[in-house]
Amino acid sequence: MLNDPFKKISLDRTIQLECDTSLEGVEVAYHAYGTLNDTQSNVVLVLHALTGTSAAQEWWNGLIGTGRILDPNQYFIIAPNLLGSCYGTTGPESIDPKTGALYLASFPSITPRDIARVNLALLDKLNIERVHLAIGGSLGGMVVLEMASLAPDRFDAIVPIAVSGQHSAWRLAFSSFVRKTIVAHDPTLQDRTKLLAGLRLARQAAMITYRSSAEFDFRFGRETSNGRFEVENYLEHQGEKIVARFSPYSYLTLTRAMELYDLSRDQRSLEEVAASISVPALFVGISSDILYEPEEIELFAKLFPNSDYQTLDAIHGHDSFLVDQDVLAEVIRPFLHTRNVKTLLEAVV
């Protein structure tokens, strides 16, 4: 395994965005675990969720590590920080080369497809032509699907988790409300202190949809402490955690990107786009997810010509792919094993 998995690289190309503008001097921060083999047949691309980082082995150690299903002794694992985030890749907290000042609120609107194009450019920069597996949950799953749509011949297999083909009206309604919670604290988007106060509340609201009623009842019930319900204390704690580590500008940028997610955006129908993606795919839904209900994902998966669907049975809601990692690994293992056997047979032939 590499001693220093963190890397940062300049793409040295203009990135054209869907909002009819472009970004110059885009940098991508990423972590790389393991060693690329001679045939470049062991590349795994791991994409994080909304507020995640490129340090994938830290937040997904149930899947990534020695003896895990994504073992760096077997795979070359690349985990980029997504465009628009605040953990090293170009985003609102980066310097705009045109002005010499931080982008902040002036950072352009982006979509998961824009993020996908940046990741494909990263692969180009690293001279990686093929990816054995691309995997990600939530926003990361959106980007996985967009990459497979843009460059289907580049991927041997994909695993999108807790995501379907587009943001529904219900998800749009709640996401826009969460963003407005931040903006309402400072409509000018200039006062970071006020925006962080908004972010603190926005995260509390979002956490209600990321988890489930069953989990809250099991963990907190109606227990109280210091005159407040324990579930209130939990939400307050989550709010404090996010303002200590994340940018309100990146939160606004990436939640808006998720709202704009539509795999058929400016193309054919969703059914036609899915039918054109013949990459072997495993779609994973979560039994307790209220954001992307498993029934929706299962129906979506059936649109793809070479796909399978599995349910992760867990009570932790949308976040179960981050919480119930050992169970998720067992859901994915058979699919990954089949893909590995096929790759080995092709290498022999």
Which structural domains are found in the chain, ordered by start? 6-167+262-348 (3.40.50.1820), 171-258 (1.10.1740.110)
Decide: helix, strand or coil at residue 63: coil
Q: What is the DSSP letter of 44?
A: E
Distance CA 146, CA 36 (A): 24
Which amino acid, one-letter code, is at 335? F
H/E stretch holding 6 reads strand 6-10
Active-site residue flag, 326: no
- Reported pTM: 0.96
Distance CA 12, CA 87 (A): 19
Which listed residue (85, 138, 164, 212) is catalytic? 138
Q: How many C-beta neighbours within 10 Å does residue 180 have?
A: 13
DSSP string, 132-186: SEEEEETHHHHHHHHHHHH-GGGBS-EEEES--SB--HHHHHHHHHHHHHHHTT-
Q: What is the pLDDT of residue 4?
A: 79
Q: What is the pLDDT of residue 192?
A: 98
Phi, psi dihedral angles at 52 (to 5 degrees): -75, 180
Q: What is the pLDDT of residue 3?
A: 62
Distance CA 112, CA 256 (A): 10
Which amino acid, one-letter code, is at 321? F
Active-site residue flag, 289: yes
Which listed residue (156, 186, 289, 319) is catalytic? 289
Phi, psi dihedral angles at 296 (to 5 degrees): -65, -45
Low-confidence ranges of the chain (pLDDT < 70): 1-3, 344-349
Which listed residue (31, 247, 318, 319) is catalytic? 318
Active-site residue flag, 4: no
Q: What angle do CA 76, 90, 198 make, to 5 degrees?
A: 115
